[in-house]
Amino acid sequence: MKIGELARLSGLTPSRIRFYERIGLLKTVDRRPNGYRTYPQQAVMILGLVTTAQRAGFTLDEIRTLLPSDLKHWDHATLMDALTRKIADIEALQVRLTQSRAHLLRLIEDIQARPDDMDCAANAHRVLTNMLAEHPEALDVTSDDIRLLDATDRRQSVSPGRGKKTASR
Amino acid sequence: MKIGELARLSGLTPSRIRFYERIGLLKTVDRRPNGYRTYPQQAVMILGLVTTAQRAGFTLDEIRTLLPSDLKHWDHATLMDALTRKIADIEALQVRLTQSRAHLLRLIEDIQARPDDMDCAANAHRVLTNMLAEHPEALDVTSDDIRLLDATDRRQSVSPGRGKKTASR
DNA sequence: CCTAACGTTGAAGGTAGCTTAAAGGTCAAG
DNA sequence: CTTGACCTTTAAGCTACCTTCAACGTTAGG
C-alpha cells in the first residue's frame, strides 16, 4: 500500500510516517519504480504498536530500541524489563501527582481559611509563607531565611536589607 | 541583592532568573549604575512561588497570568479557578496513568501467558493482536481490519496487495 | 490534455523551558 | 597590576516530536 492509505489505516499523517521512517522507527518500506513508498500490511500493526507504546509513556527512542525488525522476534527479556520499569515510572509519577493534588487542595483550603479579622494582603502573605515553608527542598532556604523573608515582606522593605546572607549590600 | 545571591537563595541558576525576567515572570528588578541587576528580598519568594507552581503542573505562561505584580493583590477568583482546574487536570492525568499502568500489566500477563504449545512468533502475534484490538480508538481500524491484518500477517504477505480499501472511513 | 489528488525531497519552524557560548565589563583582594 | 569571581548582552543550541513549506514529479479521471 502507498503512504496515503497507510496514513488512513493507521490514523497518522503521512509526514509523521515519513518522520518515523527517517528516525529508524519504521523500516518495512520499499520503493516502487516511481519513487513512491510502498508498505506491507504489517506496517499498520507496527504503527499501531508505536502509538500504543507512546500512549503508555515510551519515547520514540525507547520504542526504537525495543522494536525488533521482525515483529515475530522480540527480545523477550529486554521487553519485559522495559515494561516493568515503565510501570515503576508511572507509579512514581502517580505518587508525585497525588502529592501535587493534595498540595493544591491544601492551598485552596488555606486560602479560604482566612480569619475574619485578616485583610487580603495579610492573608496572601500568610498563605505564601505557609506554602513556601511546606516545600523547603526547592528553596535553598533555612527556616531562619523564611523568618527573615517574613519580616522583610511584612515591612514591605525594598530598602537595602542587612540580614545575614541576604544582605550583600 | 545581586543575581548571584538571589540564585543561591532561590536555588535557581542566574540564567534561569534572567530568562524569567525576559519572559515577564519576574518584574521586581532594578539596575545599579554599573548595569548589574538588583533585587528586593521579595524576589526570593516570587521565585519560590514560581517553582512551586511549576511542580504543581502550571506552565510558565499560566503562572505569569496568575502572578500579580504585587504579591499582596491577587485576583482571588481567577486564582481559585485556576487551582480548581489544575486539580481537575491532575485527576484526568491520574486516570490516564492508571489506565496505562493497567494496560502494561495486562500486557505483561498476556506475554507470560503463552500456551505451552505455542512458539514465540505465534505468541508475539497473539499478544499484538490482543493489544491492538484493545485500543481501536487510535487505529482507525475496525475489527474487520484486525482480522484482515491477522490473515495477511499469518501469510507473511508482502505481495503487491492492491487490497480493497478495506473500511477506509 | 487538464486538473486534482497524490507522491517526493530537504530545510526550516514550532513548542517549552531552559542552557551554553562568545565576547566583554566590573570589582575586591593580594 | 593581576587574578579570578562576578556581572552584562545576544544568539544559538538542546530535547522530543512532529508540521509546514517550497518546489517539484506522478497518476487517475473526465
Rounded (5°) CA angle B109-B112-B115: 120
Residue nearest to nucleotide C7 (CA to C1'): A36
Q: pLDDT tens for residues A12-58?
A: 999 999 999 999 999 999 999 999 999 999 999 999 999 999 988 89
Smallest Cα–Cα separation from A71: which of B100, B52, B154? B154
Cβ distance of B72 and A124 shorter than 8 Å = yes
Map out the domains of chain A as residue ranges: 3-72, 80-154
What single DSSP character describes residue B139?
Answer: T
Of A40, A90, A108, the CB nearest to B80: A108
Look up cell 529508524; give the residue.
A24
For residue B23, pLDDT beyond 70:
yes
A103 residue type, one letter: H
Residue B52's closest CA among A94, A95, A104, A111? Answer: A104
- The residue in chain A having the minimum alpha-carbon distance to the alpha carbon of residue B73 is A121
Residue closest to A140 by CA, chosen among B98, B6, B132? B6
Q: pLDDT tens for residues A60-113?
A: 999 999 999 888 888 899 999 999 999 999 998 899 899 999 999 999 999 998
Quote the CA–CA distance of B58 and A13 in Å, as a whole number: 30
**The residue type at B83:** L
Assign B113 a pLDDT band (cuts: 50, 70, 90): confident
Q: Which of chain B's residues have a Cβ under 8 Å away from the Cβ of A132?
A: 45, 48-49, 52
**Partners of residue B92 on adjacent β-strands:** none
The CATH-assigned architecture of domain B3-74 is Orthogonal Bundle (1.10)
If pLDDT is split at 50, 70 and 90, which confidence band does B155 have?
very low
Q: What is the pLDDT of residue B91?
A: 92
Q: Are A149 and B41 in contact (CB under 8 A)?
A: yes
d(CA B109, CA B111): 5
pLDDT attached to residue B129: 85
Predicted confidence at residue B137, as pLDDT, reads: 55
Grid coordinates standing for B151? 490473515
Residue B36, SS3 per DSSP: coil
Fold for the domain defined by A3-72: Multidrug-efflux Transporter Regulator; Chain: A; Domain 2 (1.10.1660)
pLDDT of residue A136: 59
Mean pLDDT of chain A: 80
Q: How far is CA B37 from the centre of its chain?
A: 34
Per-residue pLDDT reduced to its tens digit, B75-91: 899 999 999 999 999 99
A contact residues 39-58, partner B, Cβ 8 Å cutoff: 40-42, 44-45, 48-49, 51-52, 55-57
**Of the candidates A87, A103, A152, which has its C-beta nearest B105's C-beta?**
A87
| pLDDT value at residue A88 | 92
Calculate the dihedral angle through the C-alpha atoms of B24, B69, B90, B133, rounding to the nearest 10 degrees. Answer: -30
For chain A, report the end-to-end CA distance as a whole number of angstroms.
Answer: 72
pLDDT band at B136 (very low <50, low <70, confident <90, very high): low
Secondary structure (3-state) at B30: strand
Residue A123 sits at the chain B interface (C-beta within 8 Å): no
Q: Where are the alpha helices (DSSP H) in B11-157?
A: 14-22, 42-55, 60-66, 76-112, 120-134, 143-155
